[in-house]
Amino acid sequence: MFKLNLKIAFRNLWRNKTASFINVIGLAIGLASCLMLLLYVSYEWNFDKHFKEAGQVYQVMTNFKDANGKINGTGDVTGNVIAGAIKEEIPGVEAISRLGYGGQSLIANGSSSFKKEAKFADPDLLKIYNYEFIAGNPGTALNDPKSVVLTERMAKLLFPDGDALNQSVRYDDKTDLKVSGVIRDLPSNTSNRFDFLMPWSFYETLFDWVKDPSWTNFNWQTLVKLDKHVDLNLVNLKMKGMMELHQKDTRAESFLYPLSEKHLYGKFENGKGVGGDVERIYLFAGLALGILLIACVNFMNMATAKSEKRAKEVGIKKTIGAGRGSLIAQFFLEAMLLTMIGVLAAIAMLELLLPTFNNLLHIQLSASVLNGGYWVWILLIVLITGLLSGIYPALYLSSFDPIQTLKKKAVRAKAVPMSLRQVLVVGQFCFALLLIIATLVIYKQLSFIKNRPLGYDTNLLVEMPQDGLLQGKYELLRTNLLKSGAITSMCQSSMSISNEGSSFWNFEWPGMADQDKQIVFNQIATTYNFIKTNGIKLIQGRDFSRNFASDTAGVLLSSSAVKIMNLKDPLGAKVKYHGQDAVVIGVFKDFIWGSPFYSDRPMVVAYSKNWNGVVTMRLNPANSLSQNIDLIKTVTKNINPAYPVEVKFVNELYAHKLQAENTLGVLSNLFGGLSIFVSCLGLFGLAAYSAEQRTKEFGVRKVLGASMLNLMQLLSLSFMKMIFISVVISIPLGYYLMGKWLLKFEFHTTISWWIIGIAAIGTLFIALLTVSFQAYKSARANPVDALKYE
Amino acid sequence: MIELKNIEKYYANKGVKSYILRHVTTSIKEGEFVSIMGPSGAGKSTLLNILGMLEDPTYGEYEFMGENITSLNERKRIELYRNHIGFVFQAYHLIDEMTVAENIEAPLLYKKIGGSERKSRVADVLDRFNMVAKKDLFPNQLSGGQQQLVGIARALVAQPSIILADEPTGNLQSAQALQIMDLFKKLNEEEGITIVQVTHSEINAGYGSRILHLLDGVIKEDVATTV
């Protein structure tokens, strides 16, 4: 029986090629989206969970409070002494380690040197993470201050043809370290990634500020592994007063948060978790399931539209003794078969498109074909999809009464619930239209933000890290670069102009009120030519200049800073910056430093020779780009030979800020396009079927003198009505939802009528094109062909 | 085998009842070959459908092999289809997606008969109807007469006790029609299968042992034929 049903199912698929094609393509697209979603979710879900006993690992988080004791921020940073305190005061701590960020640091093996991600940690980190050691002893790897643990990739890079263990590498062109271990590469869904890991004891020898015990220098992370029987709530109760106990006047308190939840639920408001990246999963799930649902609806619609054909078969089978169960089973089998074919196509699609998709979303998914769990999920999806798309046709078709279907002119009109089909089509197009409106609004918002005046000139602006000797020999570098003609101006600063990096409070100025101490300012430290190099607009005063010796104690204020400080005459005002006396020498127009969607804090640009980190240069427009870059590389390498030269374009760095919204735009564009495509496939199938059914009617009408246009209208109108209803439903809905989305941003565009117009007219046009193709075909047919039967 | 008592069938439309069958009372014994005749609209097909349990009478009692049909549930009815009733239709009603052999095999599948017996029974029937060469063809590759032969073969393969045939030769040329009627007669006489057919043709009716004449839903005449 099963074999026969399978055979019949195949023959049915073959006989109705258009319908099968539409169903398979639709299902394949829907399933591919779902499989993609599955990979994505499992990638995100397993963030920080891939090592042993990951559930017992916690991150020490800190809540920051304002003067009134209200929590106004939560972060994963701590001082460097809380680890010791927790170890002593909290029972059940199995391991605890501080984690220091080394950034992109130089690591060299005699001949070749690389800049790679570095981290510093206590030896306990190896107990927390259970790294898989390829070489070396995890128990002792970080005990010696002059040791380093490499990842497998790093080890291969440094020692391409040999054993890395016990070899010597040079860190930061200063210190020789012995390789004490090589571990397997960390999966990309790990929060604390590094290429090489060095002992905290070594870290302390590098910087005094690391060595000085501090509760409030929030520069590091702390990871804890607790015994599995420990109650987190009790621990956190004890943690609550810990900081204030040790350090009077702090306005912060720490608590433990599961490390594995940090990635997806890393957003805090008022000290309480309020979701986070998990929203991206919800969004993606909604989109993928939506597409799959559209494909299932296509299947249902095609199956029920064909019901007249199938009804006869059902009737006959019932008279020769088929029970309803066996008929339902047969129709399910057909749905499953189609889904299976769809899933095969989907897997092929997935393999093909995954790299592109990874690029779009900046993640690293891989379809692990060998993974048994993956196949179980696929099977589950096939089953659910088959059930979803098969259940309605199976129940509906198997319910036919034999006598109605076998009598020649069966009362079909009543038996087919046209209205449900219409509702489903309307639903499909509503979903598609919503996505199209969303896409248009997101892109409009992006272009709005891109057009916001930056406040500095990114054109021909490049920067590079101020590594190694570039700090001491900055003046030499400047002279040589200017002489080479590669640049017209340059400055050093504490951080990049492209991205917000530092803030402070307790700024003092004449006439301030007491609570003004709480105002948080952004800060950049620089030396000369900051304004000139970056192309920032000066409103009053001047840039830092060598001509004024007193400028070394000067600050520049942003115009919003002047406003909030309420300075009538800012130039020459005497302020206290980090307790040091300083004089305001200039006021510049605000520029975008943080998120371009929101306004920045007021800003102070101060003079400091020692707080440096980034060299910003304006390229010489007289030369070509590559010429300039080559010159910069040569000159820099001469001065600072140990380090590779990394020149970055500031406009590219700036573009990263729009990444999340860009991704959203790409996703809604992709899924919007797909859903319109799959919906139109379904519409095409329905129109084809309707045209086939009305061949005779068309023939009669043609004989009676109907023109081709009359006939095309006849067929198209009934379909266009449904699309029109979808437009009417989805436009106010889209307007409302996207309006709400826009309100999330301080700077946002408005939804203009042309967006609605394009979405509505575009959809109507595409749908019309789809339907009229069929209408044209059947209107063109020779009426004799239609009428000669019977 | 079949007992009909006071069977009525009508459709009520705006309070007006339009009768299709009135006061039909008759019985059909095992081994009979009954032809139902009458002009168009007399209720012949409705009567046959009621006999085949495809339609329910509005009123009256119907016993099939001693069982009251009017109170029969779906499962029991399907059992009867599987074991006792074979249908033959004017439009053949073969399943287009199945080959000749598969069409014939289908009732046995529903009857849950084992694979080897199924094979042998299908082979047997094919052989008997001289259709072995055509067993892998699809219905649309056969002539009308051949299709109807497949239809009858399908009705027979489950070894029913009764065959209900609704104008089995209505779509056929006369030569093919005679062949089918000969087959019915042979089945009736040699295997004792009860046959009830609806027909327009006096000649076809002549093959049977008894004729029910229907007019406006009422049995006007019930005569035995003499050969």
Instruction: Give tens-digit pLDDT for A728-737.
Output: 999 999 999 9
Q: Which residues form the domain of A114?
A: 54-262
A372 belongs to a structural domain: yes
Mutation to test the A interface, candidates B47, B51, B74, B81, most A Cβ within 10 Å: B81
Chain A closest-CA separation from residue B145 CA (Å) = 18
CB contact under 8 A, B97 and A326: no
Element housing A200 (H / E)? helix A200-206
pLDDT for the residue numbered A96? 93
Written out in words, the top-level CATH class of the domain with range B31-45+73-224 is alpha beta
Name A650's Cβ contacts closer than 8 Å, sequence gap at least 6: A458, A461, A462, A463, A496, A497, A498, A616
- The reply to whether residue A403 touches residue B55, judged by beta carbons under 8 angstroms, is yes
Residue A325, pLDDT above cutoff 70: yes
pLDDT in the model for residue A309? 74
**pLDDT greater than 70 at residue A407:** no
Same domain, A66 and A87: yes
A549 touches chain B (CB under 8 A): no
pLDDT at B227: 54
Residue numbers in A near B107 (CB within 8 A) = 320-321
Pairing of strands A614-619, A461-465: antiparallel
Q: Are residue A75 and residue A168 in the same domain, yes or no?
A: yes
Residue A478 sits at the chain B interface (C-beta within 8 Å):
no
- How far does A334 lie from chain B, in Å, by closest CA? 13
Task: Please say whether the dihedral angle defined by the alpha carbons of residues A667, A672, A675 and A678, taken in this order, is positive or negative.
Answer: negative
Other C-beta atoms closer than 10 Å to the C-beta of A384 total 14
Residues A648-674, mean pLDDT to the nearest whole number: 84
Instruction: Say how many C-beta atoms besides its own lie within 10 A of residue A676's C-beta.
Output: 22
Question: Is residue A271 domain-resident?
Answer: no
Residues of chain A contacting B87 with CB distance shorter than 8 Å? 319-320
Instruction: Examine the pLDDT at A790 and tell me if it is beyond 70.
Output: no
**β-bridge mates for residue A132, sequence order:** none
Report CB contact under 8 Å: B109, A1.
yes
Question: Is the pLDDT at A789 greater than 70, yes or no?
Answer: no
pLDDT of residue A734: 92
Distance CA B17, CA A616 (A): 97
Q: Are A521 and A513 in contact (CB under 8 A)?
A: no
Inter-chain contact B102–A4, Cβ cutoff 8 Å?
Answer: yes
Contact A490, A530 (CB under 8 A): no
A16 lies in some domain: yes
| Average pLDDT in chain A | 85
Residues A432 and A400 in one domain: no
pLDDT tens digits, residue range A124-146?
999 898 889 999 998 889 999 99
B158·A320 Cβ contact <8 A: yes
For residue A410, pLDDT over 60 is answered with no
A322 contact B CB<8A: yes
* Identity of the residue in A312, A326, A408 whose CB atom sits nearest the CB atom of B110: A326
Cα–Cα distance measured from residue A501 to residue A495, given in angstroms and rounded to the nearest whole number: 7
* For A408, nearest residue in chain B (alpha carbons): B91
Query: Residues of B at the A interface (Cβ-Cβ below 8 Å)?
Result: 49, 52, 54-55, 74-75, 78, 81-82, 87, 89, 91, 93-98, 102, 105-107, 109-111, 154, 158
Higher pLDDT, A187 or A118: A118
User: Which of chain B's residues have a Cβ under 8 Å away from the Cβ of A12?
Assistant: 97
Question: Where residue A226 falls among pLDDT bands split at 50, 70, 90?
Answer: very high
- The residue of chain A nearest to residue B75, with distances taken between CA atoms, is A323
Q: In angstroms, rounded to a whole number, what is the distance separating the alpha carbons of residues A312 and A322?
A: 13
Those residues of chain B that have pLDDT short of 70 are 226-227
Q: Please count the structural domains in chain A.
A: 4
Shared domain for A698 and A678, answered yes or no, is yes
Q: Is the same domain home to A368 and A389? A: yes
Taking contacts as CB-CB distances below 8 angstroms, the residues of chain B near A408 are: 91
Long-range contacts of A502-511 (CB under 8 A, 24+ apart): A503/A601, A504/A578, A504/A604, A506/A578, A507/A575, A507/A576, A507/A577, A507/A604, A508/A575, A508/A576, A509/A565, A509/A567, A509/A573, A509/A574, A509/A575, A509/A576, A510/A573, A510/A574, A510/A575, A511/A566, A511/A567
Q: Please indicate, yes or no, whether residues A391 and A448 belong to a single structural domain of this protein.
A: no
Cβ contacts of B151 on chain A, cutoff 8 Å? none
What chain A residue is nearest to B89 in terms of C-alpha separation?
A: A406
Of B82, B109, B158, the CB nearest to A4: B109
Mark which of A212, A231, A262 sits at the end of a domain: A262
B54, B74, B107 ranked by CB distance to A321: nearest: B107
**Complex ipTM:** 0.80
Percent of chain A residues past pLDDT 70, beyond the cut: 96
Write out residues 421-460 of A within 8 Å (CB-CB) of B: none
Measured between CA atoms, the residue of chain B closest to residue A403 is: B54
Distance from CA of B75 to the nearest CA of A (A): 8
Q: What is the pLDDT of residue A594?
A: 85
In the prediction, which pLDDT does A786 show?
61
pLDDT tens digit sequence for A334-363: 888 888 999 999 988 888 888 888 887 777
Q: Rounded to an integer, what distance in angstroms lies between the CA atom of residue A339 and that of residue A328?
A: 16
pLDDT of residue A637: 87
Q: Provide the 8-state DSSP code for A468.
A: G
Cβ <8 Å between A320 and B154:
yes
A4 and B81 within 8 Å at the Cβ level: the answer is no
Is residue A619 located within the same domain as residue A479? yes
Asked whether residue A491 falls in the same domain as residue A612, the answer is yes
CB A767 within 8 A of CB A722: no
**Last residue of some domain: A594, A623, A651?**
A651
Chain B contact present for A411, CB below 8 A: no
Residue ending a domain, among A623, A651, A679, is: A651
Q: Which two tokens stand for residue A464?
A: 């590079």
* Cβ atoms of A740 and A440 closer than 8 Å: no
One-letter-per-residue 3-state SS of A355-408? HHHHHHHCCCCCCCCCCHHHHHHHHHHHHHHHHHHHHHHHHHHHCCCHHHHHCC
Model confidence at A154, pLDDT cuts 50, 70, 90, reads very high
Cβ A715 vs Cβ A330: under 8 Å: no
Cα–Cα distance measured from residue A616 to residue A465, given in angstroms and rounded to the nearest whole number: 9
Distance CA B90, CA B92 (A): 5
Spatial separation of the C-alpha atoms in residues B36 and B28, rounded to whole Å: 12
Per-residue confidence (pLDDT) for residue A412, from 0 to 100: 47
Measured CA to CA, the distance from residue A544 to residue A577 in angstroms comes to 16
Domain limits, chain B: 31-45+73-224
> Would the CB atoms of B97 and A313 count as touching at under 8 Å?
yes
Least confident of A367-381, A563-577, B14-28: A367-381
Picking from B49, B55, B93, the nearest residue to A312 by CB comes out as B93
* A12, A306, A318, A319, best to mutate vs chain B, most B CBs in 10 Å: A319
- Is residue A273 a part of any domain in this protein? no
Residue with tokens 């080897």: B116
Nearest-by-Cβ selection for B89 from A317, A322, A406: A406
Q: Nearest CA to CA, how far is A9 from chain B (Å)? A: 9
* Closest CB to B97 among A11, A319, A320: A11
The verdict on A406 touching B (C-beta cutoff 8 Å) is yes
Q: Which two tokens stand for residue A596?
A: 């371009």
**Cβ-based contacts of A403 with chain B (< 8 Å):** 49, 54-55
**Is residue A625 classed as helix, strand or coil in its secondary structure?**
helix
User: Is A317 in the B-facing interface, judged by CB distances under 8 Å?
Assistant: yes
Where residue A624 falls (left for φ over 0; alpha for ψ -120 to 50; beta otherwise) is: beta
Which of A5, A7, A10, A320 to mutate against chain B (most B CBs within 10 Å)? A320
Residues A67 and A175 in one domain: yes
Give every CB contact of residue B79 below 8 A, 6+ residues apart in sequence.
none
Chain B residues within 8 A of A317 when measuring between CB atoms = 95, 106, 110
With residue A441 as reference, give the H or E element that holds it: helix A418-450
**In-domain check, residue A275:** no
pLDDT in tens, A598-649: 888 899 999 988 888 899 999 988 888 888 899 898 888 888 888 888 899 9
Return d(Cα A505, Cα A523) in angstroms, integer. Answer: 10
- Regarding whether A175 and A38 lie in a shared domain, the answer is no
H/E element, B28 = strand B16-28
Residues A43 and A82 in one domain: no
Average pLDDT over residues A460-475: 87
